[in-house]
Structure formats: C-alpha cells, structure tokens
Amino acid sequence: MSRPGPERVASLLLTIDRGSAAELLKRLPDHERRAVTQALSRLADGYIDRPTQEQLLREFRGRIRAMDGFTPDAAEIQQLLSQALGREGASLTQQLTAQDRHGRARATLARLDGASLSFVLQGEHPQAIAVILMELGPEASSAALPRFSEAMQQDLVTRMVGMQKPTGEFVTLLLEAAVDKAKTLEDTGGSVPEGDKLKQVAAILNKFKDEQRQLLMMNVEMNDPERAQKVKDQMFTFEDLLKLGPKDIQRILSGIDTKVLATALKGASPALSEFILSNISKRTQERVQEERETMGAIRLSEVQKAQLEMATVARDLIGRGEIQYGGGDDELVS
C-alpha cells in the first residue's frame, strides 16, 4: 500500500492492541516517529469509527479491538508512548498531560459568564487575575473586566500590557485553582432558589437609606437590568402596605384607580383588605364593592398586575421621600 500520512498511522496505532502499536511505533524512523507522535497528540479525545478501523486494518493487517470504535483519551496515548519510546515517550507524555490539564481548565473557565468569572477571581492577586484573563482571551476577559472596580481595571490592564509570558505550568496551576474555586462556590450556592436570593437581597437593601439604596441598585441595573427589576419587585410588595401608617396609605390610595384597587383586593389578605378599606371614604368603599361585584371571577395574573401597580406607586413615593418605610422592623410608639 502507499505510504500513509502521520494521522493515518496514528489512527491505526490507536486501533490495534497496545503492544503491537508500541512495537510498530518504535520501528519507525526518527523523523516519522516524531510526526506520528505529534499526530497522536492531536487525536486526543477524537473518535475513530468502526468503518475507519476496518479500512485501516484491511490495508495494514493487525488485530482490531473488540468494540465498535473507541475514543482515545490522554491516558491511552500516554501508555502507548511510554511503551514505545522510553525516555522520549516520558517527555512527550508529560507534555500531553500538561496540555490536557491546561485545555480542560481553560475550557471550564471560558464557559462562565462575566459576572461568575469576575466573582471567582475576586480576592486573588491582581497578577494572577491578569494572567488568567490574558489566557482566556478577549471575549471572556471583556465580559469579566468591567465587573471589577475602576482602580482594579486600570491595574489589570497595566499588568497585562507589561506582562512577560509565564511558564505553561504556572498558567495551568492558576487556571486549575480558579476552577476549584468555581466548583466550591457552585457546590455551596447552587441550591439556593432564585426567589429566595432575590428576597434576601431586597430585604438587605430595604435596610439602607434611600440615597444609598439607589446607588446600590444603579450598579445592579447596569450589570443585570432584568434581575435588578426582580429585586425591585421584592423590595416593597403589595402586602407591605400593611406596614405603613394611615397617612402614608391614604397618600398611595389617592393615586389608585378604583378598578385597580378592587382587582388588587381580590387577592389581599383579610387584614390588608380591612386596613385599606378603613383608609378610604365610605363613597369610595361603595364604588370598590360595586367594581368587585361587577367583575366577578378574574385571572390571578390580573390580580397580581393590580397589586404590583399599587406596590410600584408605593415604591416611587418612598423613593421620593413622600412617605416613610423602615423595612418592617420598626414599630410606632405613642
């Protein structure tokens, strides 16, 4: 048969038994052996299907493995090289091992979004962060870099510009350390439901003064507008109206349409319904009752929309300082 290319020989060696493959590789001329070993490294995690195996074996007699193709991994290639090449193989297997570790760690970090990657890298030495960002490339780095403080961004860019290329093993160790940290954070925080996290954040922000809270929310909105809105929706809910004083609830109700109020009360607790109705005029109470009787059964989504509208009015008034809301822990005393 015609002389096969390095990739073809490498595929054949990975198809037959290891002992025969090692013997064949050892018998190749030096320059051909180097070409084949390089082809072997490129075949790591590649798939050799059964038709390809059979074609190779028809052209070059040997013993096929008893399976429908197989996927060679780094360990298989290392074993083959070690058997065939002795010290030369040991050097090559070390190189393959390093490439495999580096590639897996890099791929894991590259899959993280900008917020997650920056969170994983927070607290690390700036030089280590700079090395990792440079290694991950423009797309991942540009997504993570804006999440750091302005001073840190400037420091990281300066370090990247003046950086000397570190050793491959050093970079691999940094990447693996970041991967380990990411896995730890995922194991400890991945089970917290999204709704619970939003409520916790909203409860924390409710403890801040208006100006501080607005500044914190601005930062969240810049990075994740959708989630910021979800936090806002949790910061003051419809049921929180019960925590307001009579003057404040009257201020809110003065700007609410009667139909919206009647719809919202469809899903209100008895205590909140009584509180709201006690803070509107008798004439308004009658109109609300008429609306409720007229509308009959309505969708839950419509009730929730009306309640959200009332909560939004309350949040806006709180933000402007026109009514006071202390987060629910302070009690009035006389």
- Residues 16-35: pLDDT tens digits? 666 667 776 776 666 667 77
The contacts of residue 326 (CB under 8 Å, 6+ apart) are none
Four-CA torsion 270, 273, 276, 281, nearest 10 degrees: -120
Question: Could you tell me the CA-to-CA distances from 321 to 86, 250, 263 in Å, in that order?
Answer: 79, 15, 27
Tell me which CATH code domain 238-319 carries: 1.10.220.30
Q: Which range is most confident: 35-49, 110-124, 203-217, 244-258?
A: 244-258
CATH topology identical between 103-189 and 238-319: yes
**AA identity, residue 257:** D
Please count the other Cβ atoms lying within 10 Å of the Cβ belonging to residue 299: 9
Mean pLDDT, the chain, rounded, equals: 75
User: Are the C-beta atoms of 118 and 182 separated by less than 8 Å?
Assistant: no
Among 260, 244, 276, CA closest to 309: 260
Contact 100, 44 (CB under 8 A): yes
DSSP letter (8 states) at residue 16: B
Architecture of the CATH domain 194-235:
Up-down Bundle (1.20)
User: How high is the pLDDT of residue 253?
Assistant: 93
Question: Of the ranges 215-224, 272-281, 289-298, which is most confident?
Answer: 272-281
Domain 103-189 has CATH 2.40.240.10: no
Of 285, 287, 267, nearest to 276 (Cα)? 285
Range with the poorest average pLDDT among 2-11, 239-248, 287-296, 316-325: 2-11
Percent of the chain scoring above 70 in pLDDT: 66
Domain boundaries, the chain: 6-85, 103-189, 194-235, 238-319
Read off the pTM. Answer: 0.38
pLDDT at 262: 93
For the range 63-67, what are the long-range contacts, defined as Cβ-Cβ under 8 Å and sequence gap of 24 or more?
63/16, 63/17, 63/20, 64/15, 64/16, 65/15, 65/16, 65/17
Give 64's pLDDT tier (boundaries 50, 70, 90): very low
